[in-house]
Amino acid sequence: MAKEKAKAAAAKPADKAIGAAAFDIENPQSDPDSGLTAKQTRELYDKLRKERQRVLEGVRRHIAEATDPTGPMADEMDQASRDAEQAYLIRYANKERKLLIEIAHALQKMRSGEYGICEGTGEPIGFKRLSIRPWTRYSIQHKEELERRKAERAR
């Protein structure tokens, strides 16, 4: 049954609704098999909301800096400096976009009551790991296995 839950969870797309209301969950739920208490689930929900807000503010700040006609990009920098700054902003935005997708996915799982279960094994992820990365999809053991496989393929 645990493997079936993992496959079903992995097959679901990340939260499609990106509007702020999509992230307001009155009563966030964890999977009954996750071992998380209601208090722990609420604490993790609050962490997810705060991280989402932090990321959005950072992205907005970077966009404002990059488009500010009086900011550092307005000076007569050489083209190489501008290109380097643009490349950095693109990498930063892409990294933060991926994190927002993961946060949205975790919040969607809280909405549906499937939060706290490893998508690879169907086993509980554990509060300690979720406290550090509340958007994680995998237990430490499964994540390490995925990384080992990736390293083997890279050889």
Region of poorest pLDDT, from 67-76, 119-128, 138-147: 67-76
Cβ atoms 55, 103 nearer than 8 A? yes
Rg of the chain (C-alpha set)? 19
30 burial (CB, 10 Å; 0-12 / 13-18 / 19+) is: buried
Q: Which domains does the chain have, with CATH numbers?
A: 2-154 (1.20.120.910)
How far apart, in Å, are the Cα atoms of 69 and each of 56, 59, 92, 122?
Answer: 22, 18, 21, 51
Q: Among 10-19, 51-60, 69-78, which is the least confidently predicted range?
A: 10-19
Strand partners of residue 117: 124
Average pLDDT over every residue of 103-109: 96
pTM recorded for the entire structure: 0.75
**Average pLDDT over all residues of the chain:** 82
